[in-house]
Protein backbone atom coordinates (compact mmCIF):
# COMPACT_ATOMS: atom_id res chain seq x y z
CA UNK A 1 0.00 0.00 0.00
CA UNK A 2 1.33 3.43 -0.98
CA UNK A 3 -0.02 6.73 0.30
CA UNK A 4 1.03 10.37 -0.11
CA UNK A 5 0.71 13.38 2.23
CA UNK A 6 1.48 17.04 1.65
CA UNK A 7 3.73 18.81 4.17
CA UNK A 8 3.41 22.58 4.50
CA UNK A 9 6.49 24.68 5.24
CA UNK A 10 6.45 26.57 8.54
CA UNK A 11 3.20 25.02 9.76
CA UNK A 12 3.91 23.28 13.06
CA UNK A 13 0.22 22.84 13.80
CA UNK A 14 -0.33 20.60 10.81
CA UNK A 15 2.99 18.80 11.10
CA UNK A 16 2.37 15.26 12.20
CA UNK A 17 -0.69 14.60 10.05
CA UNK A 18 1.15 12.20 7.78
CA UNK A 19 2.79 10.37 10.67
CA UNK A 20 -0.52 10.16 12.54
CA UNK A 21 -2.17 8.65 9.50
CA UNK A 22 0.64 6.13 9.18
CA UNK A 23 0.33 5.28 12.86
CA UNK A 24 -3.40 4.68 12.58
CA UNK A 25 -2.79 2.36 9.66
CA UNK A 26 -0.08 0.37 11.43
CA UNK A 27 -2.07 0.08 14.66
CA UNK A 28 -5.15 -0.98 12.78
CA UNK A 29 -3.31 -3.76 10.99
CA UNK A 30 -2.36 -5.33 14.35
CA UNK A 31 0.60 -6.96 12.63
CA UNK A 32 3.38 -4.84 14.09
CA UNK A 33 4.89 -4.70 17.60
CA UNK A 34 4.10 -1.52 19.52
CA UNK A 35 7.77 -0.54 19.78
CA UNK A 36 8.18 -0.94 16.03
CA UNK A 37 5.21 1.33 15.36
CA UNK A 38 6.61 3.92 17.75
CA UNK A 39 10.02 3.75 16.11
CA UNK A 40 8.62 4.18 12.60
CA UNK A 41 6.22 6.97 13.54
CA UNK A 42 8.73 8.86 15.67
CA UNK A 43 11.21 8.88 12.80
CA UNK A 44 8.44 9.87 10.42
CA UNK A 45 7.40 12.76 12.66
CA UNK A 46 10.98 13.93 12.96
CA UNK A 47 11.27 13.93 9.18
CA UNK A 48 8.00 15.81 8.81
CA UNK A 49 9.23 18.45 11.23
CA UNK A 50 12.44 18.70 9.24
CA UNK A 51 10.50 19.52 6.07
CA UNK A 52 8.38 22.05 8.00
CA UNK A 53 11.43 23.79 9.44
CA UNK A 54 13.94 23.71 6.63
CA UNK A 55 12.15 23.58 3.29
CA UNK A 56 9.68 25.54 1.22
CA UNK A 57 7.30 22.59 1.42
CA UNK A 58 7.10 19.03 0.24
CA UNK A 59 5.37 15.72 0.66
CA UNK A 60 5.89 12.26 2.06
CA UNK A 61 4.92 8.85 0.84
CA UNK A 62 4.85 5.62 2.72
CA UNK A 63 4.82 2.10 1.45
CA UNK A 64 3.82 -0.66 3.83
CA UNK A 65 4.55 -4.26 3.02
CA UNK A 66 4.40 -7.29 5.27
CA UNK A 67 7.34 -6.67 7.62
CA UNK A 68 9.01 -3.72 5.93
CA UNK A 69 8.08 -0.07 5.64
CA UNK A 70 9.58 2.55 3.37
CA UNK A 71 9.13 6.26 4.00
CA UNK A 72 10.08 8.89 1.45
CA UNK A 73 10.18 12.61 2.10
CA UNK A 74 10.56 15.01 -0.81
CA UNK A 75 10.87 18.76 -0.58
CA UNK A 76 11.44 21.60 -3.01
CA UNK A 77 14.55 23.09 -1.52
CA UNK A 78 16.73 24.84 -0.63
CA UNK A 79 18.57 21.57 -0.02
CA UNK A 80 21.29 20.54 2.42
CA UNK A 81 24.64 21.96 1.29
CA UNK A 82 26.74 19.62 3.44
CA UNK A 83 24.96 16.42 4.46
CA UNK A 84 27.87 15.17 6.56
CA UNK A 85 27.85 18.38 8.59
CA UNK A 86 24.06 18.30 8.91
CA UNK A 87 24.27 14.77 10.35
CA UNK A 88 26.45 15.96 13.21
CA UNK A 89 24.64 16.19 16.55
CA UNK A 90 24.07 19.79 17.53
CA UNK A 91 24.51 21.30 14.08
CA UNK A 92 21.41 23.27 13.19
CA UNK A 93 20.24 26.07 10.94
CA UNK A 94 16.77 26.14 12.49
CA UNK A 95 14.91 29.34 13.28
CA UNK A 96 13.56 30.77 16.53
CA UNK A 97 10.06 29.44 15.79
CA UNK A 98 11.45 25.92 15.59
CA UNK A 99 13.09 26.38 18.97
CA UNK A 100 9.84 27.63 20.49
CA UNK A 101 8.21 24.42 19.29
CA UNK A 102 10.85 22.28 20.96
CA UNK A 103 12.86 21.47 17.86
CA UNK A 104 15.86 22.76 15.97
CA UNK A 105 18.69 21.58 18.18
CA UNK A 106 20.44 19.65 15.46
CA UNK A 107 19.24 16.20 16.46
CA UNK A 108 16.70 15.47 13.74
CA UNK A 109 18.77 13.70 11.11
CA UNK A 110 20.69 11.84 13.77
CA UNK A 111 17.48 10.64 15.38
CA UNK A 112 16.19 9.46 12.02
CA UNK A 113 19.38 7.55 11.41
CA UNK A 114 19.19 5.82 14.77
CA UNK A 115 15.48 5.07 14.62
CA UNK A 116 15.47 3.71 11.08
CA UNK A 117 17.23 0.63 9.74
CA UNK A 118 18.49 2.54 6.72
CA UNK A 119 18.58 6.24 5.96
CA UNK A 120 19.57 7.70 2.60
CA UNK A 121 19.62 11.37 1.68
CA UNK A 122 19.98 12.97 -1.73
CA UNK A 123 20.02 16.73 -1.79
CA UNK A 124 20.55 19.59 -4.21
CA UNK A 125 19.49 23.26 -4.16
CA UNK A 126 16.30 22.16 -5.92
CA UNK A 127 15.30 19.89 -3.08
CA UNK A 128 15.96 16.93 -0.85
CA UNK A 129 14.85 13.32 -0.98
CA UNK A 130 15.14 11.50 2.31
CA UNK A 131 14.33 7.81 2.46
CA UNK A 132 14.00 5.63 5.55
CA UNK A 133 13.52 1.89 5.61
CA UNK A 134 12.30 -0.15 8.55
CA UNK A 135 12.11 -3.84 9.22
CA UNK A 136 10.76 -5.48 12.33
CA UNK A 137 13.76 -6.61 14.37
CA UNK A 138 15.01 -7.60 17.80
CA UNK A 139 14.90 -4.07 19.17
CA UNK A 140 11.15 -3.94 18.55
CA UNK A 141 10.25 -6.89 20.73
Which residues make up the interface to another protein (CB under 8 A)? 12-13, 15-16, 19-20, 23, 34-35, 37-38, 41-42, 44-46, 49, 100-103, 105, 107-108, 111, 114-115
CB of 116 to another protein, least distance (A): 12
Alpha-carbon distance values, 39 to 3, 19, 26, 136 (Å): 19, 11, 12, 10
Supply the DSSP string of 73-90, one letter for each residue.
Answer: EEE-S---S-HHHHTSTT
- Cβ 83 to another protein shortest distance, Å: 18
Nearest distance from C-beta of residue 90 to another protein, angstroms: 11
CA distances from 87 to 7, 9, 90, 102, 139 (A): 22, 21, 9, 19, 23
Q: Give CA–CA dist 42/81, Å, rounded.
A: 25
Which is closer to another protein, CB of 109 or CB of 128? 109
Closer residue to another protein (CB): 87 or 124: 87
Q: Which is nearer to another protein, 19 or 72 (CB)?
A: 19
Nearer Cβ to another protein (42/131):
42
Minimum CB separation of residue 124 from another protein in Å reads 25
Partners of 63 in beta bridges: 2, 70
User: CA–CA separation, 63 vs 70, rounded Å?
Assistant: 5
Amino acid sequence: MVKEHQIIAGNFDLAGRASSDLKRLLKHSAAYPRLFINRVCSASYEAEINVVIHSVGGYMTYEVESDTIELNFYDDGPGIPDIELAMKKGYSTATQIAHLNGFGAGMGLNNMKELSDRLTIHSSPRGTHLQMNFKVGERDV
